[in-house]
């Protein structure tokens, strides 16, 4: 499983979009969404294996990649996810989000603050 997690994390590291489901009228599933699902499917059972990959993604990923990493952390370690969102809450870098057909732009800081409000 390590190889598939590593490959998925590499895909997430360069993500420019956060989308957890299909996007657009055709509900197309993006490669980053597939990568997210690959890692998510290993959790919480594979948390020990995934944690170092997610730590790397938080430190080295694109803004969208960091959002994916913190979201994945929340599935097995809510405290670590809260800490990650807190550390990201002042990041000015922008990325695109999709909620179905709705595309938007946000900063990582705004997104993180929103996640802290929900958590």
pLDDT exceeds cutoff 80 at 106 = yes
Q: How many domains does the chain have?
A: 1
pLDDT digits (tens, 9 = 90+) for 39-71: 999 999 999 999 999 999 999 999 999 999 999
What whole-number distance in Å separates Cα of residue 82 and Cα of residue 99? 22
Instruction: Return the pLDDT at 119.
Output: 58
Q: What is the pLDDT of residue 50?
A: 96
The mean pLDDT of the chain is: 95
Q: Give the domain range for residue 74.
A: 2-118
Is the pLDDT at 34 greater than 70? The verdict is yes
Q: Please give the pLDDT value at position 82.
A: 97
Contacts of 9 (CB under 8 A, 6+ apart): 35, 39, 53, 54, 56, 57
Q: Are the CB atoms for 2 and 49 separated by under 8 Å?
A: yes
């Amino acid at each position: 499983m390590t190889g598939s997690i590593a490959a998925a994390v590499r895909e997430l590291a360069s993500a420019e979009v956060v989308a957890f489901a299909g996007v657009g009228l055709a509900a197309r599933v993006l490669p980053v969404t597939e990568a997210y699902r690959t890692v998510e499917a290993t959790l919480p059972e594979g948390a020990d294996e995934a944690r170092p990959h997610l730590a790397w993604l938080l430190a080295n990923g694109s803004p969208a990649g960091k959002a994916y990493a913190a979201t994945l952390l929340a599935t097995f370690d809510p405290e670590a996810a809260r800490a990650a969102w807190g550390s990201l809450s002042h990041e000015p870098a922008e990325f695109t989000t999709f909620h179905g057909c709705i595309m938007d732009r946000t900063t990582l800081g705004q997104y993180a603050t929103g996640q802290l409000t929900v958590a």
